[in-house]
Amino acid sequence: MQIPIPQLVRVGTLEITAVVSDDARVEIWDSFLSLQIKETTQRAYSKSLADFCQKIYSSLSLSDALQNFLLLSQSDALHQVLTYRKILIDLKLSSATINQRLSALKSLVDYARKRGLCSFTLIDVKGLRSQKYRDTKGRTVDEYRSVLAEIDRSTILGKRDYAICRLLWDNALRRGEIVSLDQSNFLPQESRLMILGKGTLELKPVDLNPAVVIAINDYLILKPDTNNPALFVSNNGNRLDGKDIARIVKKYAEPVGIDLSPHRVRHSAITAYLDVSEGNVRAAQSLSRHHNLSTLMIYDDNRHQLQGKASKDLGDLLE
């Protein structure tokens, strides 16, 4: 067995002696990323951790840098992470970006501690306070109806795109939820889809209205015969990805002069439902599958424009 060799690492004016283990070096990185459910999460964590290593350990490779970092003492680790946090603040990055990168580091450290590969914790490293502004108003029902009218439903691609656009609206599905669908997840006799929701590994049912069931069935009648289990496929029989869904929405929105994305369709659908249900937030939560009810309150507050009305009332007092 090869004995790991201590190496001297310089971080700013701080010199740290750490041990690099060839056996654990790549394994900890790969196994940690494999735990992330979504490919988008894997990419975000990978980018954040690579940024930390580049800014703090610029002279080392990614795997060397991570292994050296995980073998630090509590005080040295805190020094590095707080130094990195200050670098990000000085770069004037947004609070959300800084918090995302710190969260990736904390998740890696938590995983490594459970594996017995590091002895420190980052629990004392705090993120930045941020108040995320979310434009949830989206598009009106009439505007989205005009988008649907652009789809030629006499063709196989038109039937596919129409079914996708109806799922984006009628069930407020995320594009990731749509591309992960297999044909076996569609249960027409029960008017139901089994979807893999955000951040979950278990399939959950969503009920479909008759128009959506008909739209999916119309597409499946002409769907290319392929071994791919995906519900929605390309001309070549490949499973669609998130970028494909975005291109589909843009394809039909541009001719009617509307700037639209899959997520904005979701926003539009949730807001439209709150309007038609006179603010039934509980039902909107079931539709949107938001775990936190406070997220739905953002939609409802934006719908009522409460802050603008409050400011007007205050201004009127001065007149």
Q: Kindly list the structural domains of the chain, giving each domain's residue range(s) and its CATH number in brackets, ordered by start.
A: 5-114 (no CATH), 141-307 (1.10.443.10)
Q: What would the pLDDT profile of 133-160 be if each residue is shown by its tens digit?
A: 455 567 888 999 999 999 999 999 999 9
Q: Which amino acid is at 307?
A: Q
Q: Say how far apart CA 36 and CA 62 lie, in whole Å.
A: 19
Q: What would the pLDDT profile of 71-122 be if each residue is shown by its tens digit?
A: 899 999 999 999 999 999 999 888 888 988 999 899 889 888 888 888 899 9
Is residue 195 within 8 Å of residue 206, measured between CB atoms? yes
pLDDT score of 178 more than 80: yes
Is residue 16 within 8 Å of residue 69, measured between CB atoms? no
Could you give the C-alpha distances from 152 to 158, 159, 164, 274, in angstroms and in order?
5, 8, 13, 30
Q: Say how far apart CA 137 and CA 144 lie, in whole Å.
A: 13
Q: What would the pLDDT profile of 203-241 be if each residue is shown by its tens digit?
A: 888 889 999 999 999 999 999 877 889 999 998 889 999
3-class state of residue 118 by DSSP: coil
Of 53-57, 293-297, 309-313, the least confident: 293-297
Interhelix angle 210-222/156-170, nearest 10 degrees: 150
Confidence of residue 194 (pLDDT cuts 50, 70, 90): very high
Is residue 263 within 8 Å of residue 148, measured between CB atoms? no
pLDDT score of 296 more than 80: no
What confidence score (pLDDT) does residue 187 get?
95
Confidence of residue 202 (pLDDT cuts 50, 70, 90): confident
Q: Which two tokens stand for residue 181?
A: 């669908």
What confidence score (pLDDT) does residue 294 get?
60
Is residue 226 within 8 Å of residue 233, measured between CB atoms? yes
3-class state of residue 16 by DSSP: strand
- Provide CB contacts within 8 A for 278, sequence distance 6+: none
Q: Say how far apart CA 296 and CA 157 lie, in whole Å.
A: 34
- Give 165 or 235, the one with higher predicted confidence: 165
Is residue 296 within 8 Å of residue 281, measured between CB atoms? yes
Q: Which two tokens stand for residue 185?
A: 């997840």
Q: What are phi and psi of 118, to 5 degrees?
A: -155, 160
pTM: 0.59
